[in-house]
Amino acid sequence: MAERRVRVETKVGLHARPAALFVQAATRTPLDVTVAKPGKDPVNAKSILSVLALDAQQGEEIVIRAEGDGADAVLDELAGLVTEQSA
């Protein structure tokens, strides 16, 4: 299972538009994708309610995991979405 640890840089954290973009990108892949705060249980990255419930704020670290062929590319895309400050 591939994993990325990234700091949330979007102004509103992983909420509203950034969360929607994140979930849409995760949903486009057939891979199992999860997201979590370090030390917490992972949630389905394809569920907007689960992602919003993480309450990931700007400056906090999250762990994104994906399993299967192409996992690294999926993780690169998802990590990019939460590290963009303009989102």
Catalytic residue among 4, 15, 37, 65: 15
Per the CB < 8 A criterion, the answer to whether 22 and 64 are in contact is: no
Bridge partners of residue 40, in order along the sequence: none
Note if 15 is an active site residue: yes
Q: Over the Cα atoms of the chain, what is R_g? A: 11
Tokens matching residue 41: 């249980």
* Residue 2 · residue 66 · CB < 8 Å: yes
Q: What residues are annotated to the active site?
A: 15
